[in-house]
Amino acid sequence: MADPAVQRTLVLIKPDGVRRGLTGEVIRRIEAKGYGLVRLELRSATPELLADHYAEHQGKPFYEPLVEFMLSGPVVAMVVEGQRCIEGFRALAGATDPTAAAPGTIRGDLGRDWGLAVQQNLVHGSDSPESAAREIAIWFSDL
Ligand code: RTP
Ligand code: MG
C-alpha cells in the first residue's frame, strides 16, 4: 500500500541559482538528503505560468519585481520525492531572506542580500501538500 508520508514537492532553482552555476550543488544537497528526482528540466518561465505559480502573491509590492526576476533567465524545475520531503526541502532551503537563513541551508550558505528590489534566494519549494499538487500540475501538466 502507498505510504502517505511519501510526498512529492515542486522545487525550482531560480534564475540566480542557474546563473551562478549552483544547479549541481542544489541537486547534490537534495540527493545527499536521500530524496529522489522524479522530473528535472531546464525551463524558461512565462508571465502566464508565473501568474499561476505565484497567484497567492498577486497584488503584493514584491510581485512585479518577483515576476521580472523569474523571467530573467532559465530555471531548473524539479519534482522531488521522499518521506516528508515538502517540509524537508523547506528545511534544506532555509528562511526566505538569505541574510537571515541559517548556515547549513542552501540560502544560508549560498545566498545573500544583493540590495535588489526582490529577494533573490536561489530556490523555491512548495509549502504544503496542497501547494505541491497545484504547482506540480502547473509546471508538469502530465503529472
Ligand atoms: P518560495 O515560495 O520561493 O519557496 O519562497 P518562500 O515561500 O520562502 O517565500 P514567499 O513568501 O512564498 O515569497 C515568494 C518569493 O518572493 C520573493 N520575495 N521577495 N520582500 C521581498 O523582497 C520579498 N518577499 C518575497 C522571494 O524570492 C520569495 O522566495
Ligand atoms: Mg512560497
Mean pLDDT of the chain: 97
Closest approach atom of ligand 1 to CA 121: 27
| Residue ID of nearest Cα to ligand 1 atom 17 | 119
Shortest CA distance to 18 belongs to which of 116, 110, 133? Answer: 110
SS3 38: strand
CA pair distance 96, 100, nearest whole angstrom: 8
DSSP state letter for 102: P
Hey, where are the domains in the chain? 16-76+89-139
Q: What is the pLDDT of residue 1?
A: 60
Q: CB-based contacts of 91: which residues, under 8 Å, 6+ apart?
A: 105
DSSP 88-131: HHHHHH--SSTTTSPTTSHHHHH----S-SS---SEEE--SHHH
> Which position has the grid cell 521580472?
68
The torsion angles phi and psi of 57, rounded to 5 degrees, stand at: -100, -5
Q: Say how many Å lie between the CA of residue 119 and the centre of ligand 1.
A: 7
Residue pLDDT, tens place only, 67-90: 999 999 999 999 999 999 999 999
Q: Rounded to the nearest 10 degrees, how much is the dihedral formed by the CA atoms of 81, 87, 92, 93?
A: 100
Pocket test for ligand 1, best of 64, 119, 130, 136 (most atoms within 8 A of CB): 119
pTM of the model: 0.96
Q: Check if the beta carbon of residue 16 is closer than 8 Å to that of residue 120.
A: yes
Residue pLDDT, tens place only, 47-71: 999 999 999 999 999 999 999 999 9
Of the candidate CATH numbers 3.40.1360.10, 3.40.50.150, 3.30.70.141, 3.40.50.720, the domain formed by 16-76+89-139 belongs to 3.30.70.141
SS3 40: strand
Q: Say how many Å lie between the CA of residue 14 and the centre of ligand 1.
A: 11
Provide the ipTM: 0.94
